[in-house]
Structure 1
Protein backbone atom coordinates (compact mmCIF):
# COMPACT_ATOMS: atom_id res chain seq x y z
CA UNK A 1 0.00 0.00 0.00
CA UNK A 2 1.28 3.47 -0.93
CA UNK A 3 -1.58 5.84 -0.04
CA UNK A 4 -4.56 5.61 2.28
CA UNK A 5 -7.66 7.76 1.84
CA UNK A 6 -8.64 9.87 4.87
CA UNK A 7 -11.16 12.06 3.02
CA UNK A 8 -12.15 11.27 -0.57
CA UNK A 9 -13.00 14.78 -1.77
CA UNK A 10 -16.11 15.57 -3.78
CA UNK A 11 -15.57 13.06 -6.61
CA UNK A 12 -12.11 11.49 -6.90
CA UNK A 13 -11.56 8.61 -9.31
CA UNK A 14 -8.71 6.65 -10.88
CA UNK A 15 -8.40 7.60 -14.55
CA UNK A 16 -6.15 6.96 -17.54
CA UNK A 17 -6.59 7.59 -21.27
CA UNK A 18 -9.80 5.54 -21.46
CA UNK A 19 -10.92 2.46 -23.33
CA UNK A 20 -11.43 3.35 -27.02
CA UNK A 21 -13.02 0.88 -29.42
CA UNK A 22 -15.84 -0.38 -27.20
CA UNK A 23 -18.55 2.16 -28.01
CA UNK A 24 -20.25 -0.23 -30.42
CA UNK A 25 -20.72 -2.57 -27.45
CA UNK A 26 -22.25 0.17 -25.30
CA UNK A 27 -19.12 1.01 -23.29
CA UNK A 28 -18.09 4.67 -23.23
CA UNK A 29 -14.46 5.57 -23.96
CA UNK A 30 -14.21 7.54 -20.74
CA UNK A 31 -10.78 8.43 -19.37
CA UNK A 32 -9.37 11.69 -18.04
CA UNK A 33 -11.46 14.76 -18.86
CA UNK A 34 -8.38 17.00 -19.13
CA UNK A 35 -5.96 14.77 -21.02
CA UNK A 36 -3.25 17.39 -21.29
CA UNK A 37 -3.06 17.83 -17.51
CA UNK A 38 -3.20 14.03 -17.03
CA UNK A 39 -0.33 13.47 -19.48
CA UNK A 40 1.82 16.26 -18.04
CA UNK A 41 1.42 15.01 -14.46
CA UNK A 42 2.60 11.57 -15.57
CA UNK A 43 5.56 12.89 -17.54
CA UNK A 44 6.69 15.05 -14.61
CA UNK A 45 7.17 11.95 -12.44
CA UNK A 46 8.75 9.84 -15.21
CA UNK A 47 5.69 7.74 -16.07
CA UNK A 48 4.35 6.82 -19.47
CA UNK A 49 1.55 9.27 -20.25
CA UNK A 50 -1.00 6.45 -20.21
CA UNK A 51 -0.42 5.50 -16.55
CA UNK A 52 -3.33 5.86 -14.14
CA UNK A 53 -3.69 9.09 -12.14
CA UNK A 54 -6.22 10.36 -9.61
CA UNK A 55 -8.74 12.77 -11.12
CA UNK A 56 -9.84 15.31 -8.50
CA UNK A 57 -13.10 17.17 -9.13
CA UNK A 58 -13.74 20.60 -7.53
CA UNK A 59 -12.73 19.51 -3.99
CA UNK A 60 -9.68 17.31 -3.57
CA UNK A 61 -9.02 14.44 -1.16
CA UNK A 62 -6.89 14.06 1.95
CA UNK A 63 -4.40 11.20 1.73
CA UNK A 64 -1.76 9.76 4.07
CA UNK A 65 1.43 8.36 2.54
CA UNK A 66 2.61 4.91 3.54
CA UNK A 67 5.98 5.29 1.75
CA UNK A 68 8.11 7.98 0.09
CA UNK A 69 6.62 8.96 -3.27
CA UNK A 70 7.45 11.24 -6.18
CA UNK A 71 4.25 13.16 -6.98
CA UNK A 72 2.98 15.87 -9.33
CA UNK A 73 -0.33 17.72 -9.58
CA UNK A 74 -1.50 19.39 -12.80
CA UNK A 75 -4.73 20.97 -13.94
CA UNK A 76 -7.18 23.13 -11.98
CA UNK A 77 -5.97 25.61 -9.36
CA UNK A 78 -6.18 23.14 -6.50
CA UNK A 79 -2.70 23.40 -4.93
CA UNK A 80 -1.62 20.46 -2.78
CA UNK A 81 -0.19 20.81 0.72
CA UNK A 82 2.01 18.46 2.73
CA UNK A 83 1.38 18.71 6.47
CA UNK A 84 0.03 22.23 5.92
CA UNK A 85 2.85 23.47 3.65
CA UNK A 86 1.50 24.46 0.24
CA UNK A 87 3.29 23.09 -2.83
CA UNK A 88 3.28 24.32 -6.45
CA UNK A 89 1.29 22.85 -9.32
CA UNK A 90 2.92 21.61 -12.53
CA UNK A 91 6.13 20.60 -10.72
CA UNK A 92 7.22 17.25 -9.25
CA UNK A 93 7.92 16.96 -5.53
CA UNK A 94 8.93 14.26 -3.04
CA UNK A 95 6.60 13.42 -0.16
CA UNK A 96 7.80 11.34 2.78
CA UNK A 97 6.07 8.38 4.37
CA UNK A 98 3.72 9.40 7.18
CA UNK A 99 2.96 12.85 5.76
CA UNK A 100 -0.57 13.96 4.90
CA UNK A 101 -1.28 15.22 1.37
CA UNK A 102 -4.34 17.47 1.30
CA UNK A 103 -6.25 19.53 -1.27
CA UNK A 104 -8.82 22.26 -0.83
CA UNK A 105 -11.48 23.52 -3.21
CA UNK A 106 -10.53 24.52 -6.75
CA UNK A 107 -10.01 28.28 -7.07
CA UNK A 108 -10.15 28.04 -10.84
CA UNK A 109 -10.99 25.22 -13.23
CA UNK A 110 -12.70 21.97 -12.37
CA UNK A 111 -10.33 19.00 -12.40
CA UNK A 112 -6.77 18.38 -11.26
CA UNK A 113 -4.66 15.24 -11.67
CA UNK A 114 -2.38 13.61 -9.11
CA UNK A 115 0.34 11.37 -10.58
CA UNK A 116 2.70 9.15 -8.59
CA UNK A 117 5.97 7.64 -9.78
CA UNK A 118 5.15 4.19 -11.16
CA UNK A 119 1.45 4.98 -11.64
CA UNK A 120 -1.52 3.86 -9.58
CA UNK A 121 -2.35 0.16 -9.63
CA UNK A 122 -6.08 -0.44 -10.02
CA UNK A 123 -8.59 -2.92 -11.41
CA UNK A 124 -8.21 -3.10 -15.20
CA UNK A 125 -11.21 -3.72 -17.43
CA UNK A 126 -11.27 -3.79 -21.24
CA UNK A 127 -7.69 -2.56 -21.41
CA UNK A 128 -8.07 0.42 -19.05
CA UNK A 129 -7.74 1.18 -15.33
CA UNK A 130 -10.00 4.22 -15.67
CA UNK A 131 -13.11 4.34 -13.51
CA UNK A 132 -16.46 4.06 -15.31
CA UNK A 133 -18.92 4.53 -12.45
CA UNK A 134 -21.96 3.97 -14.68
CA UNK A 135 -20.69 0.57 -15.83
CA UNK A 136 -19.08 -0.18 -12.45
CA UNK A 137 -15.69 -1.11 -13.92
CA UNK A 138 -12.08 0.01 -13.52
CA UNK A 139 -10.45 2.00 -10.73
CA UNK A 140 -11.35 0.94 -7.20
CA UNK A 141 -14.34 -1.40 -7.62
CA UNK A 142 -15.70 0.84 -10.41
CA UNK A 143 -16.55 3.75 -8.08
CA UNK A 144 -15.15 7.02 -6.68
CA UNK A 145 -12.79 6.84 -3.70
CA UNK A 146 -14.13 6.32 -0.18
CA UNK A 147 -12.55 6.85 3.25
CA UNK A 148 -10.27 3.95 4.14
CA UNK A 149 -9.50 2.97 0.53
CA UNK A 150 -5.89 1.89 -0.06
CA UNK A 151 -4.05 2.83 -3.23
CA UNK A 152 -0.90 1.10 -4.45
CA UNK A 153 1.68 2.55 -6.79
CA UNK A 154 3.61 0.45 -9.25
CA UNK A 155 7.35 0.05 -9.63
CA UNK A 156 9.68 3.02 -9.98
CA UNK A 157 9.14 4.97 -13.23
CA UNK A 158 11.20 3.83 -16.19
CA UNK A 159 11.85 7.30 -17.61
CA UNK A 160 13.74 10.12 -15.93
CA UNK A 161 11.31 12.52 -14.23
CA UNK A 162 11.16 16.01 -15.76
CA UNK A 163 12.98 18.38 -13.40
CA UNK A 164 12.35 16.23 -10.35
CA UNK A 165 14.34 16.86 -7.18
CA UNK A 166 16.53 14.09 -5.86
CA UNK A 167 15.04 11.40 -3.68
CA UNK A 168 15.40 12.26 0.02
CA UNK A 169 18.60 10.64 1.31
CA UNK A 170 20.80 10.76 4.36
CA UNK A 171 23.17 13.78 4.25
CA UNK A 172 26.65 13.21 2.92
CA UNK A 173 29.61 13.15 5.28
CA UNK A 174 31.42 16.47 5.18
CA UNK A 175 35.01 16.71 3.94
CA UNK A 176 36.23 17.80 7.36
CA UNK A 177 34.53 14.82 9.04
CA UNK A 178 35.94 12.49 6.39
CA UNK A 179 39.46 13.84 6.94
CA UNK A 180 39.11 13.45 10.70
CA UNK A 181 38.08 9.84 10.17
CA UNK A 182 41.16 9.24 8.04
CA UNK A 183 39.22 8.80 4.82
CA UNK A 184 40.32 10.37 1.53
CA UNK A 185 38.19 13.24 0.26
CA UNK A 186 36.11 12.70 -2.86
CA UNK A 187 38.23 13.37 -5.95
CA UNK A 188 41.55 13.30 -4.08
CA UNK A 189 44.29 10.88 -5.03
CA UNK A 190 45.57 8.42 -2.49
CA UNK A 191 49.37 8.60 -2.36
CA UNK A 192 51.07 5.32 -2.95
CA UNK A 193 53.16 4.09 0.04
CA UNK A 194 55.99 3.36 -2.41
CA UNK A 195 56.16 7.04 -3.33
CA UNK A 196 57.16 8.01 0.22
CA UNK A 197 60.20 5.70 0.33
CA UNK A 198 63.54 7.38 -0.51
CA UNK A 199 65.44 6.11 -3.49
CA UNK A 200 68.52 4.01 -2.63
CA UNK A 201 71.86 5.79 -3.17
CA UNK A 202 73.75 4.59 -6.19
CA UNK A 203 76.90 2.62 -5.29
CA UNK A 204 80.20 3.87 -6.67
CA UNK A 205 82.42 1.45 -8.51
Structure 2
Protein backbone atom coordinates (compact mmCIF):
# COMPACT_ATOMS: atom_id res chain seq x y z
CA UNK A 1 0.00 0.00 0.00
CA UNK A 2 1.30 3.47 -0.96
CA UNK A 3 0.80 6.44 1.37
CA UNK A 4 1.83 10.07 1.20
CA UNK A 5 2.37 12.25 4.27
CA UNK A 6 3.33 15.89 4.68
CA UNK A 7 6.56 16.31 6.62
CA UNK A 8 6.03 18.80 9.42
CA UNK A 9 8.41 17.57 12.12
CA UNK A 10 11.68 15.89 11.07
CA UNK A 11 12.78 12.85 13.07
CA UNK A 12 16.21 11.23 13.40
CA UNK A 13 14.94 8.21 11.44
CA UNK A 14 13.77 10.34 8.52
CA UNK A 15 17.03 12.29 8.57
CA UNK A 16 19.06 9.06 8.52
CA UNK A 17 17.13 7.80 5.48
CA UNK A 18 17.45 11.10 3.61
CA UNK A 19 21.20 11.12 4.29
CA UNK A 20 21.51 7.57 2.95
CA UNK A 21 19.78 8.65 -0.27
CA UNK A 22 21.84 11.86 -0.40
CA UNK A 23 25.02 9.74 -0.46
CA UNK A 24 23.80 7.06 -2.88
CA UNK A 25 25.85 7.81 -6.02
CA UNK A 26 23.22 6.27 -8.32
CA UNK A 27 20.61 8.69 -6.94
CA UNK A 28 22.94 11.69 -6.81
CA UNK A 29 23.46 11.54 -10.55
CA UNK A 30 19.68 11.85 -11.02
CA UNK A 31 18.96 14.53 -8.44
CA UNK A 32 21.70 17.13 -8.51
CA UNK A 33 23.97 18.59 -11.17
CA UNK A 34 27.64 17.82 -11.05
CA UNK A 35 30.52 19.01 -13.20
CA UNK A 36 32.54 15.85 -12.58
CA UNK A 37 31.67 12.41 -11.24
CA UNK A 38 34.34 12.99 -8.57
CA UNK A 39 31.78 15.23 -6.85
CA UNK A 40 29.55 12.20 -6.37
CA UNK A 41 32.07 10.54 -4.07
CA UNK A 42 32.21 13.50 -1.68
CA UNK A 43 29.97 12.63 1.30
CA UNK A 44 27.18 15.00 2.27
CA UNK A 45 25.56 15.05 5.66
CA UNK A 46 22.27 16.83 6.26
CA UNK A 47 21.64 17.92 9.83
CA UNK A 48 18.34 18.27 11.63
CA UNK A 49 18.79 22.05 11.29
CA UNK A 50 19.27 21.70 7.52
CA UNK A 51 16.03 19.78 7.22
CA UNK A 52 14.16 22.17 9.51
CA UNK A 53 15.45 25.13 7.46
CA UNK A 54 14.37 23.41 4.25
CA UNK A 55 10.82 23.18 5.64
CA UNK A 56 10.72 26.98 5.93
CA UNK A 57 10.64 27.40 2.14
CA UNK A 58 9.60 23.95 0.87
CA UNK A 59 6.55 21.77 1.27
CA UNK A 60 7.89 18.24 1.70
CA UNK A 61 5.87 15.03 1.41
CA UNK A 62 7.11 11.57 2.26
CA UNK A 63 6.27 8.49 0.22
CA UNK A 64 5.65 5.24 2.09
CA UNK A 65 5.22 1.73 0.75
CA UNK A 66 3.92 -0.79 3.26
CA UNK A 67 4.88 1.63 6.07
CA UNK A 68 8.49 1.94 4.84
CA UNK A 69 9.80 5.34 3.75
CA UNK A 70 10.76 4.91 0.08
CA UNK A 71 10.82 8.45 -1.29
CA UNK A 72 10.20 12.13 -0.88
CA UNK A 73 8.79 14.89 -3.02
CA UNK A 74 8.61 18.62 -2.52
CA UNK A 75 7.72 21.95 -3.99
CA UNK A 76 8.75 25.54 -3.44
CA UNK A 77 7.19 28.68 -4.84
CA UNK A 78 9.07 31.04 -7.18
CA UNK A 79 12.68 29.94 -6.53
CA UNK A 80 15.40 31.88 -8.32
CA UNK A 81 16.34 28.97 -10.60
CA UNK A 82 13.05 28.93 -12.57
CA UNK A 83 13.63 28.90 -16.31
CA UNK A 84 10.47 30.88 -16.96
CA UNK A 85 10.11 33.57 -14.29
CA UNK A 86 6.33 33.45 -13.99
CA UNK A 87 5.09 34.50 -10.51
CA UNK A 88 3.13 31.86 -8.64
CA UNK A 89 5.08 28.90 -10.02
CA UNK A 90 5.78 25.74 -8.04
CA UNK A 91 9.19 24.13 -8.62
CA UNK A 92 8.95 20.42 -7.85
CA UNK A 93 11.34 17.62 -7.05
CA UNK A 94 10.87 13.92 -6.43
CA UNK A 95 13.20 11.14 -5.29
CA UNK A 96 12.27 7.48 -5.08
CA UNK A 97 15.13 6.51 -2.80
CA UNK A 98 14.45 2.81 -2.35
CA UNK A 99 14.98 0.45 -5.27
CA UNK A 100 11.76 -1.46 -4.56
CA UNK A 101 9.79 1.74 -5.19
CA UNK A 102 11.09 2.27 -8.72
CA UNK A 103 9.58 1.12 -11.99
CA UNK A 104 6.13 0.24 -10.64
CA UNK A 105 4.14 3.44 -11.06
CA UNK A 106 4.80 4.97 -7.64
CA UNK A 107 6.56 7.99 -9.13
CA UNK A 108 3.56 8.63 -11.40
CA UNK A 109 1.11 8.35 -8.48
CA UNK A 110 3.34 10.55 -6.31
CA UNK A 111 3.44 13.24 -9.00
CA UNK A 112 -0.37 13.20 -9.27
CA UNK A 113 -0.61 13.58 -5.49
CA UNK A 114 1.90 16.43 -5.47
CA UNK A 115 0.02 18.20 -8.26
CA UNK A 116 -3.19 17.97 -6.19
CA UNK A 117 -1.46 19.49 -3.15
CA UNK A 118 -0.12 22.34 -5.29
CA UNK A 119 -3.53 22.90 -6.86
CA UNK A 120 -5.19 22.99 -3.41
CA UNK A 121 -2.82 25.83 -2.52
CA UNK A 122 -4.00 27.87 -5.49
CA UNK A 123 -0.87 27.44 -7.60
CA UNK A 124 -1.61 27.19 -11.33
CA UNK A 125 1.81 26.48 -12.85
CA UNK A 126 4.49 23.87 -12.16
CA UNK A 127 8.03 23.80 -13.49
CA UNK A 128 10.65 21.08 -13.17
CA UNK A 129 14.02 20.08 -14.51
CA UNK A 130 15.04 16.62 -15.65
CA UNK A 131 18.49 15.63 -16.86
CA UNK A 132 18.39 14.53 -20.51
CA UNK A 133 19.90 11.10 -19.76
CA UNK A 134 17.02 10.32 -17.34
CA UNK A 135 14.69 9.13 -20.09
CA UNK A 136 12.37 7.20 -17.76
CA UNK A 137 11.53 10.31 -15.72
CA UNK A 138 11.23 12.41 -18.88
CA UNK A 139 8.62 9.98 -20.29
CA UNK A 140 6.65 10.06 -17.03
CA UNK A 141 6.54 13.85 -17.06
CA UNK A 142 5.41 13.86 -20.69
CA UNK A 143 2.70 11.31 -19.89
CA UNK A 144 1.51 13.62 -17.09
CA UNK A 145 1.19 16.51 -19.55
CA UNK A 146 4.41 18.44 -18.93
CA UNK A 147 5.76 20.33 -21.94
CA UNK A 148 9.39 21.18 -22.64
CA UNK A 149 10.07 24.93 -22.42
CA UNK A 150 13.84 24.96 -22.78
CA UNK A 151 17.17 23.31 -22.17
CA UNK A 152 20.22 24.39 -20.24
CA UNK A 153 23.12 22.83 -22.12
CA UNK A 154 26.16 21.25 -20.40
CA UNK A 155 24.33 21.26 -17.07
CA UNK A 156 25.54 18.00 -15.52
CA UNK A 157 28.11 15.28 -16.03
CA UNK A 158 27.10 11.63 -16.33
CA UNK A 159 29.17 8.72 -17.59
CA UNK A 160 31.94 11.05 -18.74
CA UNK A 161 29.68 13.26 -20.84
CA UNK A 162 27.97 16.62 -20.25
CA UNK A 163 24.17 16.59 -20.50
CA UNK A 164 21.49 19.30 -20.65
CA UNK A 165 18.80 19.94 -18.07
CA UNK A 166 15.41 19.80 -19.77
CA UNK A 167 13.00 22.33 -18.26
CA UNK A 168 9.33 21.44 -18.41
CA UNK A 169 6.11 23.10 -17.33
CA UNK A 170 2.48 22.28 -16.74
CA UNK A 171 -0.48 24.52 -16.10
CA UNK A 172 -2.96 23.04 -13.65
CA UNK A 173 -6.68 23.19 -14.31
CA UNK A 174 -6.24 23.41 -18.07
CA UNK A 175 -7.02 20.87 -20.73
CA UNK A 176 -4.30 18.23 -20.80
CA UNK A 177 -3.19 16.17 -23.75
CA UNK A 178 -4.36 12.58 -23.68
CA UNK A 179 -1.74 10.01 -24.63
CA UNK A 180 -2.96 6.78 -26.13
CA UNK A 181 -0.78 3.75 -25.76
CA UNK A 182 -1.08 0.77 -28.03
CA UNK A 183 0.25 -2.67 -27.35
CA UNK A 184 1.40 -4.67 -30.33
TM-score by length of 1: 0.26
Structure number with greater Rg is 1
Could you say which structure has the higher strand fraction? 2
Q: Which has the higher contact order (CA 8 A, sep 6+)?
A: 1
TM-score by length of 2: 0.28
More helix by share: 2
